[in-house]
Chain A
Amino acid sequence: MSEAVATAPDQRPAAGQTRRFVVSRLKPGDLRPRFDDFEVVVADWTTVLDVLRDIRVHQDRSLTLRYSCCHASCGTCGVRVNGKEVLGCVTNVAGLGAGPIVVEPLANTPVQHDLVVDMRGLYEGLQPPQRPLVRQSERKRADDADRDGAAEFVRFEDCIECGLCLSACPIVGTDPRYLGPAALAAAWRVAQEPRGADPAAVLAWVDDEHGCWRCHSSFECSEVCPAGVDPAGAIMALRRELTARKLRRLMGLGRRVDDE
Chain B
Amino acid sequence: MAPQLSPGHVVVIGGGATGAGVVHDLALRGVRATLLERGAFTSGTSGRQHGVLHSGARYAVSDQESAVECIRESRILRTIAPGSFEENGGLFVALNDDDMGYLEPFLQGCAACGIPATVHRRDAALRLEPNLNPAVKVAVEVPDATVDPMRMVFRFLATAQRNGADLRPFTEVTGLVRHGCTITGVLARDYLLERDYELGADIVVNAAGPWAGQVGALAGVSVPMRPSPGVLLALNGRFCDKILNHLHKSGDGDIIVPQRRESLVGTTSWVVEDPDDLPVPEDHVAMMYREGAKLVPAVASATRRAAWSAARPLVGGGGAATGRELSRTFQCFDHKQPDGVEGLVTITGGKATTLRAMAQAAADVVCGKLGIAVACRTTEAVLLPHTAYYDQRGEQR
Which of A1, A90, A158 has the most C-beta atoms of chain B within 10 angstroms of its own C-beta? Answer: A1
Interface size on A, residues (CB 8 A): 63
Interface string of A136-153 (1 = CB under 8 A from B): 111110000001101000
Do A137 and B261 touch (CB < 8 A)? no
Do A67 and B253 touch (CB < 8 A)? no
Measured between beta carbons, the chain A residues less than 8 angstroms from B264 are 71
Measured between beta carbons, the chain B residues less than 8 angstroms from A62 are 191, 194
Do A228 and B248 touch (CB < 8 A)? no
Do B290 and A72 touch (CB < 8 A)? no
Do B282 and A6 touch (CB < 8 A)? no
Do B47 and A74 touch (CB < 8 A)? yes
Instruction: Flag whether A32 is at the interface (Cβ < 8 A).
Output: no
Do B283 and A6 touch (CB < 8 A)? yes
Do A140 and B88 touch (CB < 8 A)? yes
Instruction: Flag whether B342 is at the interface (Cβ < 8 A).
Output: no
- Flag the segment in B146-154, B217-225, B328-336 that touches A: B146-154
- Flag the segment in A113-121, A174-182, A198-206 that touches B: A113-121
Do A70 and B279 touch (CB < 8 A)? no
Do A90 and B305 touch (CB < 8 A)? yes
The residue in chain A whose Cβ has the minimal distance to the Cβ of B267 is: A6
- Flag the segment in A8-16, A94-102, A214-222 that touches B: A8-16
- Tell me, in angstroms, the Cα distance from A47 to B280 when the chains sit together: 12
Instruction: Flag whether A27 is at the interface (Cβ < 8 A).
Output: yes
Do B251 and A2 touch (CB < 8 A)? yes
The residue in chain B whose Cβ has the minimal distance to the Cβ of A127 is: B387
- Tell me, in angstroms, the Cα distance from A57 to B39 when the chains sit together: 11
Q: Which residues of B from 76 to 123 have beta carbons under 8 Å from A?
A: 82-88
A68-B393 contact in complex given A6-B270, A61-B191, A74-B151, C-beta closer than 8 Å? no
Measured between beta carbons, the chain A residues less than 8 angstroms from B254 are 2
Do A73 and B83 touch (CB < 8 A)? no
Instruction: Flag whether A227 is at the interface (Cβ < 8 A).
Output: yes
- Tell which of A2, A126, A137 touches B387, judged by Cβ atoms closer than 8 Å: A126
Instruction: Flag whether B141 is at the interface (Cβ < 8 A).
Output: no
Do A155 and B260 touch (CB < 8 A)? yes
- Flag the segment in B203-211, B230-238, B346-354 that touches A: B230-238
Instruction: Give the interface SS of chain B, mostly helix, strand, loop or mixed.
Output: loop
Do B260 and A67 touch (CB < 8 A)? no
A8-B246 contact in complex given A61-B172, A70-B47, C-beta closer than 8 Å? no
Instruction: Flag whether B385 is at the interface (Cβ < 8 A).
Output: yes
- Tell me, in angstroms, the Cα distance from A212 to B151 when the chains sit together: 29
- Tell which of A68, A71, A123 touches B42, judged by Cβ atoms closer than 8 Å: A68
What is the size category of the interface that chain B forms with chain A? Answer: 35 or more
Do B150 and A68 touch (CB < 8 A)? yes
Measured between beta carbons, the chain B residues less than 8 angstroms from A227 are 260-261
The residue in chain A whose Cβ has the minimal distance to the Cβ of B131 is: A147
Instruction: Flag whether B390 is at the interface (Cβ < 8 A).
Output: yes
Measured between beta carbons, the chain A residues less than 8 angstroms from B84 are 136-137
A71-B40 contact in complex given A27-B194, A136-B82, C-beta closer than 8 Å? no
Do A147 and B150 touch (CB < 8 A)? no
Do A47 and B194 touch (CB < 8 A)? no
Do A27 and B192 touch (CB < 8 A)? yes
Instruction: Flag whether B281 is at the interface (Cβ < 8 A).
Output: yes
Do B277 and A12 touch (CB < 8 A)? yes
CB distance from A70 to the nearest CB of B (A): 4
Measured between beta carbons, the chain A residues less than 8 angstroms from B368 are none
Instruction: Flag whether A34 is at the interface (Cβ < 8 A).
Output: no
Do B86 and A155 touch (CB < 8 A)? yes
Measured between beta carbons, the chain B residues less than 8 angstroms from A228 are 261
Do A8 and B150 touch (CB < 8 A)? no
Instruction: Flag whether B164 is at the interface (Cβ < 8 A).
Output: no
Measured between beta carbons, the chain B residues less than 8 angstroms from A5 are 251-252, 322
A residues apposed to B, CB below 8 Å = 1-2, 4-9, 11-13, 27-29, 45, 47, 54, 56-58, 61-74, 76, 89-90, 112-113, 116, 118-120, 122-123, 126-127, 132, 134, 136-140, 147-148, 150, 155-156, 158, 160, 227-228
Inter-chain pairs besides A27-B192, A70-B47, A116-B170, 19 sampled, C-beta below 8 Å: A1-B248, A4-B251, A4-B252, A6-B269, A9-B281, A45-B280, A56-B39, A61-B38, A61-B191, A67-B40, A72-B262, A76-B47, A116-B40, A122-B390, A137-B83, A137-B85, A137-B86, A160-B260, A228-B261
Q: Which 10 pairs, one residue from A and one from B, show the smallest C-beta to C-beta distance?
A: A136-B83, A68-B47, A8-B270, A2-B251, A71-B234, A6-B268, A70-B308, A71-B306, A74-B150, A112-B396
9 A-B residue pairings within 8 Å (CB atoms): A1-B249, A57-B277, A62-B191, A64-B192, A66-B43, A69-B47, A72-B234, A137-B84, A150-B260
